[in-house]
Amino acid sequence: MTASETPSPDQPPASTGPLAGLRVVELGQLLAGPFCGQMLGDLGADVVKIEDPAKGDPLRQWGRQLPEGQSLWWSVVGRNKRSVTLNLREAEGQDLARKLIAGADILIENFRPGTMERWGLGYADLAALNPGLIMVRVSGFGQDGPYAQRAGYGAIGEAMGGLRYVVGDPSTPPSRVGISIGDTLAALFATIGALAAVREREVSGRGQMVDSAIYEAVLGVMESLVPEWQISGYQRERTGAILPNVAPSNVYPTADGSWLLIAANQDTVFGRLAAAIGQPDLATDPRYATHGARGERQAELDALIGGYTSTQDAAVLEAALEAHGVPAGKIFRPVDMLTDPQYLARESITEVQHPVLGPVAQQNVFPRLSRTTGTVRWPGPALGEHTAAVLAEVGVDDAALASLRGRGLA
C-alpha cells in the first residue's frame, strides 16, 4: 500500500494529476454530487467544497463505524477536497459563493431542482458571471419533467431505472445491491458529462449545464433490458447468482466451507473446465457441448460441477482451475483485499494519513493514467478547514472572516 503525507491546512499538497489547474466548486452533499467531486479531485482538480457552517455535509456522521467520532465514509468521499463553510441560505453567503464560482471551471450541486434558483445561483445567473462555467446538476429525476420536484433518493432511482427488480433471488422480493449504486452511477455519468463539457469548451469557449438523473444513470447500465421487452416481450427476472442460459457461471461450494466463482460458459473454456475436474468427456457430450445446450441444462450442470467442487478445498481447486486456464476466483472481502498479491502489486489499496486515526486504508484512484495518474493527497478534511485560505482568494481578510463567523455565515 502507498501512503500519502498529512497536508498543511493552508497549503495542501500540489496536484500532479491530469486535471491539475481545473477549479471545481462543490455544493452538494451526501453521495450523488460529492462522489463526482471525489473523482475530479482524485484526478487532480482543485475541489472547493462549500458546507453549512453548523453541521457540514451529513456524510460526516454516516457509517456503521465511527472510530473516535470520525466517519470513515467521509474520509473517502471528502478526500482531496478543501472544506469551506458558508451559509447559502443567507444573502452574504450566496454572494461569497458567487465570487468563488466566478473563478471556477465546474460547479457541482445535487439539491432538489429549483433550490439553486431560489438562492440566486441558477445556471443563467452564474453563466452571466462566468460564461465558461460548467454546471453539473445531479438529481433523482433530472431538472425537468413531471417528477423533477419529487424527493429523489438513490434507492428510488435504482427502482425506477430497472435495477431493483432484477437484483436478488427469485424466491425473495426485489433486493438491493449492498452499496449506494444509484448515487454512484449518477456521479459517474456526471463526471463523464463534466469532462465532455470541458472538452467542448475548448472549441466553443462556452460552458453548459450537465443534467445527470439517478434513474437515467441506472437505466444507462441496464444492457438490453428495454429492447428485449419491446421487441420480444421478454422480461428479465431475478435470478440470484446466475444469468439465465449462461452456464456454467455461478458460485460453487468447496470442502472447507468457502465459495468459488467459476465462469466457464464459453465452449473452449468449458472444455478446459471439464478437464480440470477430471471429466473431459463433458466437453463433447451433446448435453453440454454447446452454449445453447448448457443453457438448457443449467441447473443440472451446476449441480454436477458443485458436486465436484464440494470435495475440494478452495485453494487447491482455484490452483487447479488456474492451471487449466479457467476463470475462477474467491469472493473477496476487505481482509482478502488487504493481503492479495494482485491488490498489493498494483497498489489498489492506498493508505492516507488521517490527523486523528493515523494511516487509513482505502481504495486508490481509478482509472490509472500512464504519465499523470491521480493520487490521494489527503483524507476528508475537518469542517471549514480551508475556509480562511479559500475566502482570502476572493478578498475576505481576517477581520471580515471573523465577522462572518460571528454571525454564523461562515
Instruction: Give the residue numbers marked as catalytic.
Output: 183
Distance CA 223, CA 300 (A): 27
Angle (CA) 14 35 43, round 5°: 30
Distance CA 148, CA 331 (A): 39
CA distances from 86 to 4, 30, 54, 55, 333 (A): 29, 17, 9, 11, 39
Distance linking the first and last C-alpha atoms of the chain: 37
**How many beta carbons lie within 10 A of that of residue 282, not counting itself?**
20
At 302, list the grid cell.
451446476
- Look-up: residue for cell 467520532? 69
Residue 39: φ, ψ to 5°: -65, -40
Distance CA 295, CA 154 (A): 34
At 159, list the grid cell.
427502482
Distance CA 291, CA 325 (A): 18
Q: CB-hemisphere CA count at 13 Å for 166?
A: 20
The residue type found at 341 is P
Contacts of 179 (CB under 8 A, 6+ apart): none
Closest CA to 166 of 249, 250, 226, 213: 226
